[in-house]
Chain A
Amino acid sequence: MMLLRYRGREGMLAWAFHRIAGVAIWAFVVLHVVDIYLVGGNPGAYNELLKIYASPIGRVLEAALGAALLYHALNGLRIILMDFWPALTRWHRELWYVSWGIFVIVGVPVGWIILKPIWEGVPR
């Protein structure tokens, strides 16, 4: 994969993931504001769409959305730290690994909770 062969290594990957996650979150926000508008405008249509959100495919996409959101949030903090304390840029790689550590610690339990109804068969 080109992304992994490129010489930029961690710094470049951190940037690429940040951008991909950001655009993905943006796309969901566009959908989400429209679907919430339907709560007032057409509740029946909203409730139909909600069934897709609660379906197995919907849950996988929500877990992916949560992962994008969490990565973008943590890496965004890393960016802010380095922008305002440039000396920290020296540790940009270590900071990236720390953000992945937090990502796993927070993300795995949350992902489990979102996905669990798929194999348990019943929504909570």
Chain B
Amino acid sequence: MSTRYSRVGRPRPAGRGLELAIWFMMRLTGLGLFVLALTHFMITHVLYDPAEQTASWIAQVRWSSLFWRVFDWLLLMLVLFHGFMGVRTVIVDYASGRARRVLVIGLYLIALVLFVLGTTVVTTLPVVPKA
């Protein structure tokens, strides 16, 4: 139904395969990020100032509740899909053949590293009750 010639985002892929699922997921995660990413940015740049966000501030204030840890981890999961599938689209647009394969594999490796680093810190950083 939607036009193949698009003035907007990536045209909706034909068929019912993986590419169509990714296309839908990009939009779904985009909506989630609209709320989560903008909220995260507002907290860290409007509600608080970067100057006060030391390591102990994160342990004592920012990540003092399970809610905000789950919030930030969910944000990471959405970003790992949306950001990395988005960059994949960019790579596929500008590179082909061997270069494309190497770049996409490298991209997925970076995503894996970020998944491990982010999940590790958000689950293991000790909660320090505010004095």
Q: Give the interface of A toward B (CB within 8 A).
A: 11, 14-15, 18-19, 22-23, 25-26, 29-30, 33-34, 36-41, 43, 46-47, 50, 53-54, 58-59, 62, 66, 69-70, 73, 76-80, 82-84, 86, 89, 92, 110, 113-114, 117, 123-124
Contact of A11 with B7 in the complex, beta carbons under 8 Å: yes
Contact pick for A37, options B2, B83, B118, CB 8 Å: B118
For the complex, give the distance between the alpha carbons of A34 and B114 in Å.
Answer: 7
Chain B residues with CB under 8 Å of A89's CB are 3, 7-8
Contact of B38 with A70 in the complex, beta carbons under 8 Å: yes
For the complex, give the distance between the alpha carbons of A123 and B52 in Å.
Answer: 8
Judged by a CB distance under 8 angstroms, whether B9 is at the interface is yes
Contact pick for B8, options A25, A33, A59, A78, CB 8 Å: A78
Chain B, Cβ-Cβ closest to A89: B7
For the complex, give the distance between the alpha carbons of A117 and B46 in Å.
Answer: 12
Contact of B83 with A15 in the complex, beta carbons under 8 Å: no
Judged by a CB distance under 8 angstroms, whether B101 is at the interface is no
Contact of A114 with B45 in the complex, beta carbons under 8 Å: yes
Contact of B46 with A22 in the complex, beta carbons under 8 Å: no
Smallest CB separation, A30 vs chain B (Å): 6
Smallest CB separation, A2 vs chain B (Å): 16
Chain A residues with CB under 8 Å of B54's CB are 46-47, 50
Contact of A46 with B1 in the complex, beta carbons under 8 Å: no
Contact of B8 with A92 in the complex, beta carbons under 8 Å: yes
Chain B residues with CB under 8 Å of A77's CB are 34
Residue interface mask B54-82, A partner, CB < 8 A = 1: 11101100000000000000001001000
Given contacts A33-B118, A34-B117, A86-B1, contact A47 B55 (CB under 8 A): yes
For the complex, give the distance between the alpha carbons of A38 and B118 in Å.
Answer: 10
Given contacts A25-B83, A66-B45, A83-B9, contact A73 B121 (CB under 8 A): no
Contact of B121 with A36 in the complex, beta carbons under 8 Å: yes
Smallest CB separation, B91 vs chain A (Å): 10
Contact pick for A33, options B27, B50, B76, B90, CB 8 Å: B76
